């Protein structure tokens, strides 16, 4: 798969991101199997499809379409707004569906709504998964809010 | 090879923090052994299921504690955790041991204590779902959204699953919530995760259940007419990179294996206990288990089929929604309830003339798929 320029930007200091000039452009990183090409998120060490090791980092497209979403009204985990929305995003140009937090919301985004990654928690950037037992938190922290947030394209990243 | 159920018992499902895991497990095991007419020294293997006790109370390797409470020691004891399907997984393992000839008589107990817990259970500390804030109700709420977006239908109809199961539970003295509710009441209860409201989510309570199983040869020494487990399937999820959440592929796969084992089809099932942790779950399972065509679950529900008195009553005991869902007790309680149904002993919630039952349980969340699934078929 070939990504369009700008579609997959690893976290690099100094680029213009949604946070304004100088803010890093957030990105999620998955992996791709060099042997069979299967993509994965979170990044894997061993390919689930063919068993090969040596998985290559795969910067993921920042944009996609909502597959499904819901709004949670119950007591949120520490660091989350209430109510807040979660769901799944079909990323552009790669055969992956990733879970996502959509930030504060009154009603779920409809299927097909265009969204983009607007924020990755510092503790999550570059990490494959949160530390065991920490739920939504970084290692040693009680909670850090959502690991990453997608928002409607052109919308308020909130 | 079929496996006999010699006896079964369920404690009342309640929110009573004064009862310990040991109190609950002891009560269920003692009652099941008495129901079976089996002495403690006749049990040759045991399987004990519990999900939360280890982390919440330090109650590790609980099974040996429970079994010694009723005078069982020395035999092989296995402690089982498989999320919501822990209890039914324990039954599956006991069936395998009996089929393999490793035990003639096996005891199974499932016990859970949840009334002291606060808040919804996170969808997994190791997963990106957990990291972006999926609590367990959200996993099923997105299933509901995907189902409605794919097949259409009125989201208010989901509430009828709760209306049905609360109505059934009102007839089951062991159920946790026994007050009938209206569709309006279900929809007006506080929102949890759109479109699911509070009364569309299973409550947290305490309870235990136990069964005593035996090989066909040994069963003859204890009873002239046991209930038979003629199919027992345990499977896990597929976790594809892109998952269709409007259907449950693992249901279809596990159910087909179970029907093949028993030599039956969905049309032969007279009563079912299925994993209705949330209203949408039951609708998806109608379809996954083949009770009705894909996309027609809400129509099938509205037409009355899964209600007591309908063509295939589902969760006559009240299900997880109203009987309650003490995690590891659930899978054992489902089998105990079907055993009661097939022997004609379910009193007010008896399904008339039921001879074949299906128990379905599903546990855990991984990449929007389940982690564990069991399908058992019982015949009398």
Chain A contact present for B76, CB below 8 A: no
pLDDT of residue A10: 39
Give the pLDDT score at A155.
Answer: 64
Of B84, B201, B202, B205, the active-site residue reads: B84
Cα B306 to Cα B313: distance, rounded to the nearest angstrom: 4
**pLDDT of res. A78:** 86
> Is residue A17 very low, low, confident or very high in pLDDT (cuts 50, 70, 90)?
low
- Residue A16: what pLDDT? 46
Please judge whether B138 and A70 are an interchain contact, meaning their C-beta atoms are less than 8 angstroms apart: yes
Q: How confident is the model at residue A2 (pLDDT cuts 50, 70, 90)?
A: very low
pLDDT of residue B288: 98
Evaluate the omega torsion of the peptide bond into residue B367 and state whether it is cis, within 30 degrees of 0: no
A107 touches chain B (CB under 8 A): yes
The reported pLDDT for the residue numbered A12 is 36
Pairing status of strand B356-366 against strand B271-273: parallel
Average pLDDT in chain B? 97
Determine the Cα–Cα distance for residues B85 and B92; give it in Å rounded to an integer: 10
A23 pLDDT tier (thresholds 50, 70, 90): low
pLDDT, residue A19, reads 56
Residue A98, token pair as written in the block: 């990733």
CB < 8 Å to A41, chain B: 128, 241
Contacts B129 to A, Cβ<8 Å: 86, 99
Question: Confidence class of residue A26 from pLDDT cuts 50, 70 and 90?
Answer: confident
Active site (annotated) includes residue B84: yes
Query: Tell me, what's the pLDDT at A24?
Result: 63
Q: B84-130, pLDDT tens digit by residue?
A: 999 999 999 999 999 999 999 999 999 999 998 877 777 776 789 99
* pLDDT-derived band at A20, boundaries 50, 70, 90: low
Question: How close is the nearest chain A Cα to the Cα of B152, in Å?
Answer: 13
B197 near A CB under 8 A: no
Q: Report CB contact under 8 Å: A88, B135.
A: no
Touching B: A residues 39-78, CB under 8 Å: 39-42, 48, 67-77
Please tell me which of the candidates B119, B138, B245 has its beta carbon nearest to residue A75. Answer: B119
Q: Which strand (E) or helix (H) includes residue B227? A: strand B227-236
ipTM score of complex: 0.94
Span B253-264, average pLDDT: 98
A14 CA: distance to closest CA in chain B (Å):
26
> Does the structure show a pLDDT above 60 at B73?
yes
**Across residues B31-48, what is the average pLDDT?**
98
The 10s digit of each residue's pLDDT in B352-380 is 999 999 999 999 999 999 999 999 999 99
The token pair that represents B35 in the structure block: 């129901």
CA distance to partner chain B, nearest, from residue A85 (Å): 9
Tell if the CB–CB gap between B127 and A86 is shorter than 8 Å.
no
Q: What is the pLDDT of residue B34?
A: 98
| CA pair distance B201, B7, nearest whole angstrom | 31
Task: Name the CA radius of gyration of chain B, rounded.
Answer: 19
Summarised one tens digit per residue, pLDDT across range B127-182 is: 899 999 999 999 999 999 999 999 999 999 999 999 999 999 999 999 999 999 99
Confidence of residue A25 (pLDDT cuts 50, 70, 90): confident
Per-residue pLDDT averaged across A95-120, rounded?
94
A30 shares contact with chain B (CB less than 8 Å):
no
Nearest by CB to residue A96, choosing from B137, B242, B368, is B242
Q: Cite the beta strand spans of A23-139 per DSSP E.
A: 29-32, 39-40, 56-59, 63-72, 84-91, 97-104, 114-120
Chain B CB contacts of A75 under 8 Å are 119-120
Answer yes or no: is pLDDT of A7 > 50: no
For residues B203-211, average pLDDT: 97
* CB pair distance less than 8 Å for A86 and B243: no
Mutate to test the interface with A, among B117, B132, B236 (most CBs of A within 10 A): B132
Closest residue in B to A135 (Cα) is B125
Percent of chain B surpassing pLDDT 90: 95
User: Which pTM does this prediction carry?
Assistant: 0.92
Sheet holding A39-40, edge to edge: A39-40, A29-32, A56-59
The predicted structure's pLDDT at residue B241: 93
Task: Report DSSP letters for B14-60, one per residue.
Answer: B--TTS-HHHHHHHHHHHHHHHHT--GGG--EEEEE-SSHHHHH--T
Distance CA A97, CA B216 (A): 48
**Two tokens, residue B247:** 């259907």
CB neighbours of residue A143 within 10 Å: 15
Task: Give residue A22's pLDDT.
Answer: 60
A135–B122 C-beta distance less than 8 A:
yes
d(CA B151, CA A108): 18
Sign of the alpha-carbon dihedral angle for B303, B304, B305, B306 = positive
- Which pLDDT tens digit goes with each residue over B266-299? 999 999 999 999 999 999 999 999 999 999 999 9
| Chain A partners within 8 Å of B192 (Cβ) | 72-74
HSE-CB for B294 with a 13 A CA cutoff: 9
**A37 — contact with chain B (CB < 8 Å)?**
no
Nearest CB among A68, A73, A77 relative to B145 is that of A68
């Amino acid at each position: 798969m070939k990504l369009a320029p700008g579609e997959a930007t690893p976290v690099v200091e100094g680029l213009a991101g949604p946070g304004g000039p100088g803010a890093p452009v957030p990105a999620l990183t998955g992996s791709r199997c060099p042997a069979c090409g299967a993509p994965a998120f979170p990044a894997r060490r061993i390919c689930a499809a063919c068993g090969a090791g040596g998985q290559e980092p795969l910067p993921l497209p920042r944009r996609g379409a909502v597959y499904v979403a819901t709004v949670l009204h119950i007591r949120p985990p520490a660091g989350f707004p209430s109510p807040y929305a979660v769901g799944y995003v079909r990323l552009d140009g790669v055969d992956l569906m990733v879970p996502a937090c959509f930030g504060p919301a009154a009603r779920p985004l409809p299927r097909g709504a265009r969204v983009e990654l607007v924020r990755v928690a510092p503790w999550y950037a570059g990490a494959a998964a949160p530390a065991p037992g920490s739920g939504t938190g970084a290692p040693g922290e009680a909670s850090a809010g959502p690991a990453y947030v997608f928002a409607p394209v052109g919308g308020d990243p909130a | 090879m079929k496996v006999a159920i010699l006896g079964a018992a369920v404690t009342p499902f309640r929110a009573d923090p004064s009862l310990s895991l040991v109190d609950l497990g002891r009560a269920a095991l003692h009652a099941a052994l008495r129901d079976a007419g089996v002495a403690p020294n006749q049990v040759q293997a045991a399987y004990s299921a519990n999900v939360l006790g280890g982390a919440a109370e330090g109650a590790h390797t609980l099974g040996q504690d429970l079994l010694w409470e009723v005078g069982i020691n020395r035999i092989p004891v296995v402690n089982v955790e498989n999320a919501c399907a822990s209890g039914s997984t324990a039954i599956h393992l006991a069936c395998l041991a009996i089929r393999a000839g490793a035990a003639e008589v096996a005891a199974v107990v499932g016990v859970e204590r949840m009334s002291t817990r606060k808040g919804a259970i996170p969808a997994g500390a190791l997963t990106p779902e957990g990291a972006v804030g999926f609590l367990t109700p959200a996993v099923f709420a997105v299933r509901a959204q995907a189902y409605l977006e794919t097949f259409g239908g009125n989201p208010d109809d989901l509430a009828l699953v709760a209306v049905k199961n609360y109505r059934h539970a009102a007839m089951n003295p062991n159920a946790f919530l026994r007050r009938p509710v209206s569709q309006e009441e279900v929809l007006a209860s506080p929102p949890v995760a759109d479109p699911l409201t509070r009364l569309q989510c299973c409550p947290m309570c305490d309870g235990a259940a136990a069964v005593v199983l035996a090989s066909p040869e040994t069963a003859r020494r204890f009873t002239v007419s046991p209930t038979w487990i003629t199919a027992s399937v345990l499977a896990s999820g597929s976790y594809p990179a892109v998952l269709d959440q409007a259907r449950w592929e693992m249901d279809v796969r596990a159910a087909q294996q179970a029907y093949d084992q028993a030599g039956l089809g969905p049309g032969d099932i007279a009563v079912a206990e299925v994993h209705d942790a949330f209203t949408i779950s039951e609708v998806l399972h109608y379809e996954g288990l083949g009770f009705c065509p894909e996309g027609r679950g809400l129509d099938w529900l509205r037409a009355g089929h899964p209600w007591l008195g309908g063509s295939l009553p589902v969760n006559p005991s009240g299900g997880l929604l109203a009987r309650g869902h003490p995690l590891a007790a659930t899978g054992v309680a489902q089998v105990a309830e079907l055993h009661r149904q097939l022997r004609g002993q379910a009193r007010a919630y008896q399904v008339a003339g039921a001879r074949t039952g299906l128990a379905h349980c599903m546990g855990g969340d991984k990449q929007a798929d389940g982690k564990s699934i069991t399908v058992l078929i019982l015949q009398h």
